[in-house]
Amino acid sequence: MTMPKNIDIKEIYGCNVFDDATMQQRLPKKIYAEFKQSLLEGEDLEPHVAEIIAHEMKEWAIEKGATHFTHWFQPLTHITAEKHDAFINPQKDGRLLLSLSGKELIKGEPDGSSFPSGGLRVTCEARGYTAWDCTSPAFIKEFPDSTSILCIPTVFCAYNGQALDMKTPLLKSMEAINRQSLRILRLFGDTQTKRVITSVGAEQEYFLIDRETAMKRMDIMFTGRTLFGAPAPKGQELGDHYFGIIKERVLAYMSELNEELWKLGIKAKTQHNEVAPGQHELAPIYDTTNIATDDNQLIMEIMKKVARRHGLECLLTEKPFDGVNGSGKHNNWSLNTDRGRNLLDPGDSPHENRQFLLFLAAVLRAVDLYAPLLRMSAATAGNDYRLGANEAPPAIISVFLGDQLTDVVEQLVETGRATHSISGSVLDTGVSTVPNFKKDVTDRNRTSPFAFTGNKFEFRMVGSSQSIARPNTVLNTIVAETLSEAADILEKADDFDTALHDLIKDWFTQHSRIIFNGDGYSEEWVQEAARRGLPNISNTVDAIQYYTDENYIRMFEKHGVLSRTELQARQEVEYECYSKEINIESRTMVTMARKQIIPAVIGYKKSLAEAVITDREAGADVTVEQDMLRSVGTYLSGLCKSVDDLEKATNKAIVIEDKKQQAAAYRDTVRPVFTEVRENADALERIVDREVWPFPTYDEILFNV
């Protein structure tokens, strides 16, 4: 019997992070003070400060077993990139020095043309730069069978300064919302706050399956999801997996995952089984948005790495299995001052909290006016399989406020005054041994794509494999814009109190259509949303077009977040990415059908035909065998025809040069054929002998951990 594993969390937490405490401990006081001042003032780092920080960072990393360093950045791929350089510095006398210069810390030079750039970089103009993000701490990546790597978080830009990554616009959006929030706070007499920070907690859903089983399926290997598969006899209908007892093998995985994350200072807090068999969730405590984004990238990477050590495969795609829930990433977003105040906390009497009501009105206005942008920020080929499927929010953007805040909004809209706030009542279970307690002031709505949850908004549309940089860049920027509008009005007002009251009332009135507290899964809501004039953008290709809406371009440029050229480039990248993902799925589907399913079914059909002949010669009733033979033949013919159709459609789509037209072709002519191919193949799976079927089925995958 093995003993339970003991982990001293306080001892290991943050041990592989060159964080503020480590810097304060290792740097000379003057250098540390200069570094902090440069961060506070947004000034360039002095060369002598960078040299000393680089030296101490290198010494610390070597003590941790590192031999190389890398500029760790986030290109337009939703994953990270790195190039490892050793600390070695050969000397003329043949000796080796181990060094990391201030220049190497601050600046790197990867090939800009080898990453998706939407035309910003080409092979003949390939130079790209990485630059240290001083606000996100460096960290150590450990590997069981190799030396460690010092990772320095960086931005990634082209030779002309255009952003080639996810981090740069995110940081700019954080600066934008900080500037506009401070304008609002100054109007309310707050002269002490120096910075307003957006914070995020990203809940990460994922599937764990047996790796040996997974590697027997080409679709999982190439696409991260199953393209074929009849439902298992049991799915999620009993509700016995959600919050159920975690299997020991999974718990061992979670234990090592937590240990790895805690070492990196990632505040992994909650773990549990999700709704679908084999599905789980990890939720960290919130952090500053850019750090939370870095952390989520690491979480996804480490989830996969640790899974393989346990003989498991971690699937982060949005819809790995048909017929059970897919995976999302709930993005919990809030606004906080550097003095610890949450600007989205309504307090005990929200009807009297004018500052909160203004920020709330600004968020509602932002979500209503820029709903297509928010939808675009969560648009991927994989997420299209999940959104609106009665397991995730619909493609229609709406805001859930709950009873208390909705009542305050309605009072202001209908009477011009809000005189009271609904308060939480006491929950009495009726069991004498269970203590009574005060309930929250409102229920929770899991069907809402953008829900207020007490002191933050939960954006639930984001896909599980996505970087959270894009949705948070959009969210920060659109709220910065509406706060800017509010500040422009109120700064010119002769009577601030009257102007504030009128602005809040007007914005609640204009944008109350975005508030919906009902069932977002219902068909009635789709019809009601249409009556309200809310956009219903059902697919990624339609969503991507909003990158280059003239009003949106002006907004992004106004706040210095993204230029017209950068937005056009991102649009091009997203169209191309969509086409490539559907193309890979199509090619995989054709290959599996032709090289695995069809040969196996032909063999099975032959054995059925032989059984019919043998039984008939013996004088036995062959009705069952003949019926099966006819069914197999019918579905096999349908499969062969649909596979041919799929290949033809794919070959036509791949030669289209215009990226938007190509993406539309993959959506309209390729993807619909997936259904025909799958229906025939899945029907055959239900008939053909398990021993003959060429790869593991859903019951073998979902219930084999």
Long-range contacts of 89-94 (CB under 8 A, 24+ apart): none
Task: Read off the tokens for 679.
Answer: 């229906």
Contacts of 123 (CB under 8 A, 6+ apart): 113
What's the rounded Cα separation, in Å, for the pair 56 and 53? 5
Q: Which of 32-46, 153-167, 421-435 reaches the highest mean pLDDT? A: 153-167
pLDDT confidence bin for 127, thresholds 50/70/90: confident
Q: Which residues pair with 483 in a beta bridge?
A: none
* Strand 84-86 versus strand 66-72 pairing type: antiparallel
- CA 15/CA 17 separation, integer angstroms: 6
Percentage of residues in the chain having pLDDT higher than 90:
88
pLDDT tens figures, 299-339: 999 999 999 999 999 999 999 999 999 999 999 999 999 99
Q: What is the mean predicted confidence (pLDDT) over 455-461? A: 96
Q: What is the pLDDT of residue 332?
A: 98
| Least confident among 159-173, 429-443, 583-597, 627-641 | 429-443
**Across all residues in the chain, what is the average pLDDT?**
95
Query: What is the average pLDDT across 424-430?
Result: 76
pLDDT bin (cut points 50, 70, 90) of residue 614 is: very high
Percent of the chain's residues with pLDDT above 70: 99
Quote the tokens at residue 192: 């002490």
Per-residue pLDDT tens for 56-91?
A: 999 999 999 999 999 999 999 999 999 999 999 988
Which whole number is the average pLDDT over 609-615? 92
pLDDT value of position 456: 97
Amino acid at 352: E
Q: What's the DSSP call for residue 76? A: T
pLDDT of residue 448: 94
Say how far residue 254 (Cα) sits from the centre of its chain: 20
User: What average pLDDT does range 690-699 have in this prediction?
Assistant: 97
pLDDT of residue 435: 84
Q: Per-residue pLDDT tens for 262-309?
A: 999 999 999 999 999 999 999 999 999 999 999 999 999 999 999 999
Which residue has 């610390």 as its token pair?
60
pLDDT in the model for residue 2 = 60
Q: CB count, 10 Å around CB of 653?
A: 23
Do the Cβ atoms of 581 and 666 come closer than 8 Å? no
Average pLDDT of the residues in 25-31: 96
- How confident is the model over 362-420, as pLDDT tens digits? 999 999 999 999 999 999 999 999 987 767 788 999 999 999 999 999 999 999 999 99
pTM: 0.96
Convert the pLDDT of each residue in 493-524 to its tens digit: 999 999 999 999 999 999 999 999 999 999 99
Asked whether the predicted pLDDT for residue 1 surpasses 60, the reply is no
Question: Among 194-208, 313-327, 429-443, where is mean pLDDT lowest?
Answer: 429-443
Could you tell me the domains of the chain?
A: 9-163 (3.10.20.70), 173-562 (3.30.590.10), 578-702 (1.20.120.1560)
Structure tokens at 266: 């990632």
Q: Is the pLDDT of residue 130 over 80?
A: yes
What confidence score (pLDDT) does residue 439 get?
Answer: 72
pLDDT at position 3 is: 58
- Rounded Cα distance between 309 and 216, Å, is 18
Residue 678 has pLDDT above 90, yes or no: yes
| Residue 40 pLDDT | 82
Q: From CA 386, how far away is CA 461, in angstroms rounded?
A: 9
Report CA-CA distances (Å) from 535 to 7, 70, 451, 528, 565.
50, 43, 18, 11, 26
CB 17 within 8 A of CB 264: yes
